[in-house]
Amino acid sequence: MSNTRPSAPAGPGDFPAWQRIMADVAEGRINPSEAVRRLVLVRGGGARSAMPTTPPEGYFGPRPALSAVPAAEAADAAELRRRHLEEARRELATMPGLRSVKETVEELLAWVQVQRWRMRENLSSEPPVLHMVFRGNPGTGKTTVARLIGRMLRDMGVLSKGHLVEVERADLVGEYIGHTAQKTREQIKQALGGILFVDEAYSLARGGERDFGKEAIDVLVRAMENHRDNLAVIFAGYPAEMDRFLRANPGLVSRLPIQIDFPDYATDELLQIADLMCQQRQYRLTEEGRARLREFLETERRAVNFGNARTVRNILEAAIRQQALRLVGRNLPVDRDRLMQIEAQDVSAAVKRLFGEGKAPAAGRESEAGESPAAAGRDAAMQRLAQALGLLAGPWTGENAI
């Protein structure tokens, strides 16, 4: 027997609504839960007489055996999704600071869940529109929270994949007419089923009326409407710039119902982040090293271009390199504790390396307590040698964004 899907019946028994809805699912324009909602509405509306109760046998392919998806396997899959959802929520809850951000995310998840329950009971419900604005300075956790939201919405069945595609102006704006729309659509296609995170979104509107950035915005707005059931777009950037961006594009505001402000971290929160980063790398700050880091953060966190957790990460990575230089340059036995400890002089040397002589705490420019002048001179010689060999390069490149 052929497994070819039969064509749709003609005449009064035709059901074009079913065809349209299933085509939307197949092409990723809507997710399965939205398909169910639309089918219920179609069947309950005026189209009842024109649509059969069920499609003809074999229309959607061979009917699977009842044992194809045992109830136990379905229950296991639901339990796995529940555990993944709780894991993502715990990750968000244990992030230092961000109290208002966490409250807003929990509010969003609760609203999504209630809409799903209302849909199940055939009550009036609103399809979740999940496009958002994230306002905050660098290093305040915007990208990390976006990734966690994607995972949560996937495990709740709202997004089919829950992945995050991070883009900036260069990924969306082309160099000639038509190129921008093509590039932007390619990024949207990659993000379907997940989150499209547009970093420094305000840069799309900086070039004036003839700039191709406006075309990218127009394509994004259309995608936000056409794929709202299976795509979340997040526009992110500095607070003041994002406010100007939204004022200049009033059509965006109505499509961005969720706006979250990410505050700068307090000094104690930054030190918590430093401790977590050290634990992940199996290092630890000595009490003196932690005090030296606090001294720097207290002074610099109010600076205009301060990078919050990103700055902490850069300092720690540089301090780890300085620790390696110190251990290699000394004729001392190396044990587990010494390999794990980041000392005050490592932090001071890292700050000096990253930010210049004037930024290093004064105590960091002195030789270690109890150290002989000969040892201090030997360390200075080793540093000059390492610089000559290129061992003290600038900050490591890589994933420095948080």
- DSSP collapsed to 3 states, 160-180: CCCCEEEECHHHHCCCCCCHH
Q: Percentage of the chain with pLDDT > 90?
A: 50
The answer to which of 28-37, 41-50, 217-226, 257-266 has the lowest mean pLDDT is 41-50
Domain containing residue 288: CATH number: 1.10.8.60
Same domain, 225 and 289: no
Tokens 């990575």, residue?
Answer: 317
Reported as a single tens digit per residue, the pLDDT across 312-357 is 999 999 999 999 999 988 877 889 999 999 999 999 999 999 888 7
For strands 195-199 and 232-237, give the pairing: parallel
Counted domains in the chain: 3
Q: Give, to the nearest 10 degrees, the angle between helix 99-120 and helix 32-44.
A: 40
DSSP string, 112-123: HHHHHHHHHTT-
Residue 277: is its pLDDT beyond 80? yes
Same domain, 221 and 275: no
Same domain, 118 and 145: yes
What range does the domain containing 103 cover?
79-262
In sequence order, the β-bridge partners of residue 236 are 134, 199
Query: Among 327, 394, 317, which Cα is nearest to 355's?
Result: 394
Which residues have a Cβ under 8 Å from the Cβ of 150 and sit 6 or more positions away? 159, 162, 163, 164, 194, 195, 232
Is residue 73 in some structural domain?
Answer: no
Q: Strands, E, within 193-346: which ranges? A: 195-199, 232-237, 258-262, 284-285, 341-342
Same domain, 120 and 218: yes
Domain C-terminal end among 262, 289, 311: 262
In sequence order, the β-bridge partners of residue 235 are 133, 198
Residue 104: is its pLDDT beyond 50? yes
Helix (H) / strand (E) element for 135: namely strand 132-136
pTM of the model: 0.69
Same domain, 326 and 375: yes
Domain C-terminal end among 216, 234, 262: 262
Give, in degrees to the nearest 5, the angle at Cα 145 between 229 and 172. Answer: 60
Is residue 62 in some structural domain?
Answer: no
What span, in angstroms and rounded, lies between the C-alpha atoms of 380 and 383? 5
pLDDT (0 to 100) of residue 279? 94
List, in sequence order, the alpha helices (H) in 45-165. Answer: 71-93, 99-120, 142-155
Query: Among 199, 200, 402, which Cα is nearest to 314's?
Result: 402
SS3 of 258, please? strand
